[in-house]
Amino acid sequence: MERFGRNTVISWFSAALIISAVLQPNLEAKGMRVATDRDVVYITTGERTLMRYRYKDVPYKPYVDQLFSPSGVNILLDAPHDHLHHHALMYAVKADGVNFWEEQQAPGRQAHRTFDDVKVDTRQDVPFAGFSERLDWVNPGSGKLLLAEERTIEASCLAGPKVTFLTWQSAFKPAEGRESVTLTGAHYHGLGLRFIRSMDTNGEFRNADGKAGTVFRGEERLVRSRWCAYTAEADGKQVTVAMFDHPKNERHPATWFTMSKPFAYLSATLNLHEQPLKVVADEPLTLRYAVAIWDGRIETDEIENAYKGWTAPPRKKTEGSKPQQTE
């Protein structure tokens, strides 16, 4: 585990200058833009939207409800009628027995409090945009706070090959006055991604180690690996979506939950259904993940290279080096 800090930021390629601000209607630079509506945050590049994040007017938790491939295909499905609690790309587990995943029988609530940082900048010539958000995980029965979370989300669009890249970091500590909080959950609790309907049943899951995984029930499998990817037809266009687990995460490599029927689902888990995890006040928990989206079927080696690029130490700038282009 790592120390929780206000200025904890996802480390991707190198440290960056952070533009600190209260979330404002627009912040734009380097071709990237952060913009807000009444209850959502958008990150765009040029005229294209990369992602949309809902933080207000949500039933129980903020989440990414739209995430687009480089050609503009949204791969996320929010609150389908068969599972209303599946909110596109979301993070949820149980905390001290309170269920923050399923939204029934008095579920826990992740309450948005503030945005600390809005940032639009460049890391080694790669423009990115993002924000940090403070949330309270609330016990609905008592109204007491269980966890304090600082969530940092960043997005960029890289070229060579084109890929939409989103990073998600959640830093947790017990709420003030609590010495510890124990995390538990079902075998699918974690950072979960529900795919759009057209990606159901016709896709292929892969992971870094080429493992088939263990059947948990039906079409549900669990497999430990540093990344897991899914390739499928999305509204008539093939896309590849990969989720990465950072080497510094607790219990790395992640235990991936995959499901192909009757719908497609991918979740990065901490294996909490078998091993509860206690978060203590003097040793908070920081989790880092990334989601990469390509158009077309991307080879396994290329996914591995993207993973290595995300986890590699910052490159030293050399004289005469050419910047990486983005769109």
Q: What is the pLDDT of residues 237-254, one digit of tens each?
A: 999 999 999 999 999 999
Mean pLDDT of 197-209: 95
- Tell whether the model's pLDDT for residue 273 goes beyond 80: yes
Where does residue 211 rank: exposed (0-12), middle (13-18), buried (19+ CB within 10 A)? middle
Which range has highest mean pLDDT (25-39, 157-171, 269-283)? Answer: 269-283
Q: What is the pLDDT of residue 317?
A: 54
Q: What is the pLDDT of residue 99?
A: 97
Sheet holding 180-184, edge to edge: 98-99, 94-95, 180-184, 277-280
Contacts of 52 (CB under 8 A, 6+ apart): 40, 41, 42, 43, 64, 65, 66, 67
Q: What is the pLDDT of residue 126?
A: 84
Eight-state DSSP code of residue 39: S
Report pLDDT digits (tens) over 71-92: 999 999 998 988 988 899 999 9
Report pLDDT digits (tens) over 112-159: 999 988 889 887 778 899 999 999 999 998 999 999 999 999 999 987
Q: What angle do CA 296, 155, 238 make, to 5 degrees?
A: 10
Q: What is the pLDDT of residue 36?
A: 85
At residue 29 the predicted structure's pLDDT band, cuts being 50, 70 and 90, is low
Q: What is the pLDDT of residue 125?
A: 77
- Tell whether the model's pLDDT for residue 323 goes beyond 90: no
Q: What is the pLDDT of residue 8?
A: 33
At residue 198 the predicted structure's pLDDT band, cuts being 50, 70 and 90, is very high
- Tell whether the model's pLDDT for residue 1 goes beyond 60: no
Q: Is 153 helix (H, G, I), strand (E, B) or coil?
A: strand
Residue with the larger pLDDT of the pair 314 and 214:
214
At residue 28 the predicted structure's pLDDT band, cuts being 50, 70 and 90, is low
Residue with the larger pLDDT of the pair 30 and 323:
30
For the chain, the average pLDDT equals 88
At residue 202 the predicted structure's pLDDT band, cuts being 50, 70 and 90, is confident
Q: What angle do CA 130, 206, 197 make, to 5 degrees?
A: 70
Where does residue 90 rank: exposed (0-12), middle (13-18), buried (19+ CB within 10 A)? buried
Q: What is the pLDDT of residue 256?
A: 98
Q: What is the pLDDT of residue 47?
A: 86
Contacts of 180 (CB under 8 A, 6+ apart): 174, 278, 279, 280, 281
Assigned CATH for 26-311: 2.70.98
- Tell whether the model's pLDDT for residue 274 goes beyond 60: yes
Q: What is the pLDDT of residue 59?
A: 87
Domain locations in the chain as residue ranges: 26-311
Residue with the larger pLDDT of the pair 17 and 143:
143
Alpha-carbon torsion, ordered 39, 4, 293, 19, to 10 deg: 60
